[in-house]
Amino acid sequence: METKELKEMLFNKKKNGYSVITDEVKTAAFDFSEGYKNYLNNSKTERKAVKTSIELAKKAGFKEFDPKKSYNAGEKLYINNRSKAAAFIVVGEEDIELGATVTAAHIDSPRLDLKPNPLYEDIELGLLKTHYYGGIRKYQWTAVPLAIHGVFAKKDGSVIDVTIGEDENDPIFVVNDLLPHLASEQSKRPLSQGIRGEELNVLIGSMPFKDDSESELVKLNLLNILFEKYGVTEADFLSAELECVPAYKAKDLGLDRSMIGSYGHDDRVCAYPALMAITELEIPKKTAICVLADKEETGSDGNTGLNSDFLYHIMDDLCRAKGKSTTLALRNSVCLSADVNAATDPTFKDVMEPRNASYLNYGVVITKYTGSGGKGGTSDASAEYVGKVRSMLDKNEIVWQIGELGKVDAGGGGTVAKYVANLGLDVVDLGVPVLSMHAPFETVSKLDVYMAYLTMSAFHKEF
C-alpha cells in the first residue's frame, strides 16, 4: 500500500465542516439559524425559554402531561416544572422498560439577579443592587445595555410579569464603570477584581419626585413608576425574581454571516436544536424525552435543576401509568447531555491543548468527560457508549469533533451529565463550541448549531 493510502486509512484527520458539507446542507444550516435567533430573542431567561419552548411545542401538537394517564405511541406531551424548567415527551412504540432516548440541555444563563432589597438612592441617582448568577467575568458586564425580566409574586398570590428593555421603545439600564482618566488605582487591581461583585449596581433613574421637603425623592419617583405600572411596592421586591440580561438581539456575525453573536448561547444553542428535534418526531421506536433544565449555571441544585429528582419523576410517572419498572427504564435509557464546550480562540490558543480542543465549524463536540484536576467531578462516558454515538454520527454524515475543556489543570467545569448518570443512564456531553462563553455576547457557528440539531434528531430516531 502507498504511504498516502495507508495514512488515509490509519490517521484520524479533522476536517473543517465546510470542506465536507453540500450546498444544500449549508443552506439548511443558515435557514435553521433564523429560527434559532428568534428563539434566542424570546428566551433571554429560563422563564421566557420555558414559555417560548412550550408555545413551539403546542404548535407541534404537544399536550400537557397528566401523570395519572397512560399514553400511547406517538402521543406528544410537555411538562412545565414551576415555569423555570420543562420536559417534552414523544411516546415510543417500544416498552418503556427497554429505555428512552433523553436529551438534556439547560435554559438558564449567567446574568445579574436583583438582591431581595435592591433599590437605593445615592447622590440623587436610583440604583439596583445585584447578585451575579453563574460564572461571570464581572468586568465584562459594565457599560452593556441591560433589560430586566422576571416576576413579582405579591402577597395576594398574584404573579406580575416584568419585561423592560426588549421593545425598541423601552428604556434600558446599565452598570457604569470608571472613566480611564480616573482609573489609575482601579487599573492596578487583578482582572478578576477589576469590577467587584458589590460594584455591579444597575442605574435605573435620576429624576426626583416633585417635592422638595423629603429625602430619597429619586427612589420615591422610581417606586411610584413601578406602583403605577405593576401595582408593586418596595416590599414586593422581597418575593421577586428579577434578572438583568443584555438588552440587544441575536445577530449574524461576520462578513460571511457564518456565525451568530448573542447573549445566552450557553445553553440555548443546545436547547433549541433539542427542542426542534423532538417536536418534529412522528412515532419513535423508543420514548423520546427532552429536558430543558434550570440552575445548571449554579450547580444544578434546586427543584428545577437536574441535581433534583425531576428526570426520575418524569420516568416514574411514565412507568407507573403502564405498570412498568422505573429502575429498568432508567438503566436502559441513553442520554445526550447537550451543552456547549469552549471553542479555540486564535487570540487565546495557549489555554487549549490543540489535539484535544474543539474548533468553530468543525461540528458538534463530544466531550467525553468534563471536571477539573484529575477528572474530578465528572461522569466519564464509557468507551462503549461513545462508540455507539460516534457510529450514529458517521452513519448520518454529521460533522463532529471531540473536545476537552482546555488544557489539563487550566481550570475546568461541569455539566448536568453527572446528575443524569447518577440515575443509571448512559450519558455523554455533546454540544456546540462557543467563543467568549459566559460573556454578555457569545459567538457560535451556524454550521455547528445545525449539526447539533441533526445529532439530536438522529439520536431519537436511531438509538
Residues contributing to the site for Mn ion (CB under 5 A): 266-267, 339
Q: Give the shortest CB-417-to-Mn ion separation in angstroms.
A: 11
- For 311, other C-beta atoms within 10 Å of its C-beta total 24
Q: Which is nearer to Mn ion, 151 or 340 (CB)?
A: 340
Q: Which residue type sits at 143?
A: A
Q: Which is nearer to Mn ion, 127 or 365 (CB)?
A: 365
Q: Give the shortest CB-135-to-Mn ion separation in angstroms.
A: 7
Q: Give the shortest CB-256-to-Mn ion separation in angstroms.
A: 27
Question: Which residues face 241 on adjacent strands?
Answer: 151
**What is the SS3 assignment for 328?**
helix
Q: Which is nearer to Mn ion, 103 or 221 (CB)?
A: 103
| Closest-approach residue to Mn ion (CB) | 267
Place of cell 448512559: 426
Measured CA to CA, the distance from residue 421 to residue 380 in angstroms comes to: 9
Q: Which is nearer to Mn ion, 121 or 339 (CB)?
A: 339
Q: Give the shortest CB-161-to-Mn ion separation in angstroms.
A: 26
* Residue 45 neighbours by CB under 8 Å, 6+ apart: 108, 109, 111, 149, 150, 243, 245
Query: Largest Cα–Cα distance of the chain, in whole Å?
Result: 94
Q: Give the shortest CB-341-to-Mn ion separation in angstroms.
A: 9
Measured CA to CA, the distance from residue 142 to residue 340 in angstroms comes to: 25
Q: Are 279 and 62 in contact (CB under 8 A)?
A: yes
Q: Give the shortest CB-404-to-Mn ion separation in angstroms.
A: 15
Q: Are 449 and 32 in contact (CB under 8 A)?
A: yes
Q: Which residue type sits at 46?
A: E
Pairing verdict, β 251-253 and 400-402:
unpaired
For Cα atoms 20, 450, 399, give the angle at the middle one, nearest 5 degrees.
35
Q: Which is nearer to Mn ion, 126 or 363 (CB)?
A: 363
Q: Give the shortest CB-431-to-Mn ion separation in angstroms.
A: 8
* Residue 232 neighbours by CB under 8 Å, 6+ apart: 152, 154, 160, 226
Q: Which is nearer to Mn ion, 241 or 267 (CB)?
A: 267
Q: Which is nearer to Mn ion, 243 or 339 (CB)?
A: 339
